[in-house]
Structures are given as C-alpha cells and as structure tokens.
Amino acid sequence: MSIDSIMGVPGQLTQLLASPILRAPSQLFATASTSVGTLSNTQIATMLGTAADISATTNSSTLVDVVSQINGRGLLLFGAQYTPSGASGGFVEVTIDGVVVLSAGALNPGLLRCFAGAVCAIDTTNQRCEVALQAIPYYTSLRVRHRSDGAGAIGTAFKYQPHN
C-alpha cells in the first residue's frame, strides 16, 4: 500500500517532500511507554506486523542496524522499540539525514515505546494493535539502530515510505 493511498490524495508524498515548510527533524522524543505484558519478541513483532514493514531483534550489546541505511528521501511513518519481559533492557538510535535525532535507552522489560507514530490500543491476548502513523520526512538517509542492555533480545519495528 502506498502512502498516497493512505493519505487519499495522488501525488501527496511528492507535494509533502517538495514543501519548503516541511523539514527533517533535528530531534525526536520517545518518552512514553506502554506495557506489553509477558509477550515474547515474536509475539510483539507479530502484533506490530500490521503496522511495521521491518522488524528485527538483537541481543548484541553494541549498536546494530535494524536494516541497512536507507538512502534517498521519504517518510518515516511508524517506529517502536520493545523489550520483552525476559530481557534486561534496550536502546534505540534514529539518524535522519546524517543527524542523530533520537538516542534513547533504559527501556525496562515488558515495555514498548514509539519513536514515530503511536500505538493506540493493544490486545495482548490476540496479539493485535492499532497504530497511528506519522509523517517524519528524511531527504538523504534514514538509519535505525538498536542494542540490548544485557541478557535477552530486544526488538525494533518501523515502517517507512521511500520516494522515487
């Protein structure tokens, strides 16, 4: 599904990215978190799979790419970091156009936090969620990296729309 069909207006992404008003952010905030109970990384990734195109886990204690750097321009629509109850904590870093706009750590076990968009409702029993998308532009590159704070794997999921 294209961003134009989500927004309901053909050519809307082209218009947004050509706007002199719309600028890449210099900082993102990811301060609110919500409980995901005792769900595993796989269950959380399944739950977020309806919103996120890309999902990855790591138990590395050094920063690793969730996906290789994305070059070009587009929109970051959704992003979430999660730490299942069996892990000790996690860290996420988002770089837009060569500038680190988010460097967030200390996500406690059993929590999920969004750095783009929002999770509006979570059904942990049926592993479903409702999300709100956001349009955060990038003009040259987008990079999302994460690491675990210790024992256990953490995960990050995000959705983006490239523009050709």
**SS3 annotation, 61-119:** CCCEECCCCEECEEEEEEEEEEECCCCCCEEEEEEECCEEEEEEEEECCCEEEEEECEE
The answer, as to whether pTM is greater than 0.95, is no
- Which tens digit of pLDDT belongs to each residue from 29-51? 666 677 777 777 788 878 887 67
Residue 24 CB neighbours (<10 A):
18
Instruction: From first to last of the 164 residues of the chain, give the pLDDT tens digit.
Output: 455 555 555 566 566 666 655 667 766 666 667 777 777 778 887 888 767 888 888 989 899 999 889 999 999 999 988 888 778 888 899 999 999 999 887 678 888 888 898 888 877 787 777 888 888 999 999 999 999 887 788 889 999 999 86
* CATH of region 23-163, choose from 2.40.160, 1.10.3470, 2.60.40, 2.60.120: 2.60.120
For the chain, give every domain's residue range: 23-163
Length of the chain: 164
